[in-house]
Every structure is written in structure tokens, then in C-alpha cells.
Amino acid sequence: MNAATSPVSRDAYGALLVMIAAPALVPGLGALAAPFAGLAGLALGAQLAIGRRIPWVPSRVRAWVTTAPMGPRMSLWIQKRLQPFLRLPSPGFPRVLAGLTVAWSSLLLVLPLAFVPFSNMAPALALGLVGLGLAARKSLFGWLGAALSGGYTALLILVGEAVLLAGKALLENLS
């Protein structure tokens, strides 16, 4: 087993991503937590994409996580809850794609859209799904997270284009 597919690294990244995404999914708290979750997720996504075996986290966070076996406990908790899904065949989810999905979803969380109600739910859920996939070792969740992130990006592009066209039409009618 090489370092890129080591269960230790997948558990660590997965548990951290789930812990980062959870506060951003809470209505009300999400608007405050989204920028912090986005920055932390961006750092983890970049590390995952470049192939770092074990995520680097600040020493204070590392001390907190390592004093209580948070990563393995979180992974076991996820595996218990998702037992029916764990029997499904898993099509494989490339580590680089996981990192890029995490980084892109994190960038979407950092956008000032966090103050629009529920706008940070889709990228936070995408982060959580990729984290679940890594922690539970089932790539189906990673693919769902990537699809959600891509779909949300397409929606933002469509809404942005509609707003620009509406603004242009308004300005033309006012002139």
C-alpha cells in the first residue's frame, strides 16, 4: 500500500473535512463559519491534491486532535452510520480530484455569498461528502461531492449571467 492510498491519510483528511464542513452546514452559524471553513478546507484540499500523506495542521489543532483519537473515532462513527452504503461497489475516486473538489468547494465557501441565506450549504455539503468518502473509504460519496460542487458552480454561473442580463436590460430601458 503506498502513501497516497494509506488508510491513515484518508482517515485523517476525511475526519478533518467532516469536522470543518459541519459548522458551515448549520443555518445561522454557517454564515460565520463559512469563511473559516473555506480557508481551512482550501489548505487541506491543496495538500490532498499535491499528494501529502498526512495533512499538516497548526500545532494547536494537532495537539487537540491527537490527545483524543478524534480521527479514528470519527471514522468509526461514520462507518457505523453508513453501513448500508458501505456494501455498494465503489468506482474509485482519484486523490487529485478529491483535492481539487475540496479546494474549489472551499473557495466557494469563502465567497461573500455566505450572507445570502443557505448559499453556503451546497459547498459545505460537498466538502462533507468528500470527507465522508475519504473517511469511510467509499468513493461514491466523493463523486457525489464533486457532482454537487460542479452543479453549484454551474448554478452560480447561470444566476450571475441572468443578473448581468437583467441589469443590462434595466439600464437600456432607463436610458
Query: Which of 13-17, 83-87, 91-95, 141-145 comes out lowest in average pLDDT?
Result: 83-87
Q: What is the pLDDT of residue 161?
A: 92
Q: What is the pLDDT of residue 89?
A: 60
- At 115, the pLDDT band (50, 70, 90 cuts) reads low
Digit-coded pLDDT (tens) for 52-88: 887 877 777 666 655 555 556 666 776 677 666 666 6
Q: Can you state the percent helix, strand and coil of the chain, rounding each to 5?
A: 80, 0, 20
How many whole angstroms separate alpha carbon 172 and alpha carbon 175? 5
- At 109, the pLDDT band (50, 70, 90 cuts) reads confident
Q: What is the pLDDT of residue 66?
A: 55
| pLDDT above 50: residue 8 | no
Please provide the average confidence, as pLDDT, over all residues in the chain. 77
Residue 168 makes CB contacts below 8 A (sequence gap 6+) with none
How many whole angstroms separate alpha carbon 174 and alpha carbon 152? 33
How many whole angstroms separate alpha carbon 126 and alpha carbon 106? 9
The count of residues in the chain is 175
Q: What is the pLDDT of residue 133?
A: 82
